[in-house]
Amino acid sequence: MEHKTINIQYTESESFSEVPEQDQELLSAAAKSAASAYAPYSGFGVGAAIRLSSGRIITGNNQENAAYPSGLCAERVALFYASAMFPDEKVETIAVTVKTESGRITDPVAPCGACRQVIAEYENRQNKEIKIIFSGETGRVITMNGIQNLLPITFNSNNLNQGK
């Protein structure tokens, strides 16, 4: 028997103005997208912005539904759109942020579990780590290089292949 430890690494910036300019640009695109989220039920508008290898920026926001589980998170709207429209481009970075009426979200909004799984899928597919950046409406910004820092020990296509 062996006890193992997983080391998770990330960068915490005090504020938006402390992150590199390219990341600020992506967070701003995510914030703009969050403002047009369709989130009438939660009032919690989330925006995601993706920088592709070509430099193109793709945005998406959460799309809710009266049948609650039929809605989709901002990250997956943006990732699926990017994959559907630009399947040959790699996802370099995804930035996530939020917009609410109160404007009081100070804690960084991390991607949910299902979105982490989808980020893991595209990392595997492109064989290159995805940089993940997330923030609240104000305050700290978290930056991570690679999904292993958010979702260690993933289920992926290797697991499926072993069953064949």
Nearer to ligand THU, 13 or 62 (CB): 62
Q: What is the DSSP string of 34-68?
A: HTT-B-TTT-EEEEEEEEETTS-EEEEE-B--SSG
Is residue 97 within 8 Å of residue 47, measured between CB atoms?
yes
CB of 128 to ligand THU, least distance (A): 22
CB of 62 to ligand THU, least distance (A): 3
14, 25, 64, 75: the catalytic one is 75
Nearer to ligand THU, 53 or 152 (CB): 152
CA angle, 98 as apex, 94 and 102 as ends, to 5°? Answer: 170
CB of 74 to ligand THU, least distance (A): 4
Burial degree of 76 (CB within 10 A; 0-12, 13-18, 19+): buried
CA angle, 79 as apex, 94 and 16 as ends, to 5°? Answer: 20
Nearer to ligand THU, 55 or 69 (CB): 69
What tokens does 82 get?
């990017």
The span from the CA of 20 to the CA of 27, in Å, is: 11
CB of 73 to ligand THU, least distance (A): 3
Nearer to ligand THU, 69 or 163 (CB): 69
- 123 catalytic? Reply is no
* Site of interaction with ligand THU (CB under 6 A): 39, 42, 44, 46, 62, 64, 71, 73-75, 111-112, 115
List active site positions. Answer: 75
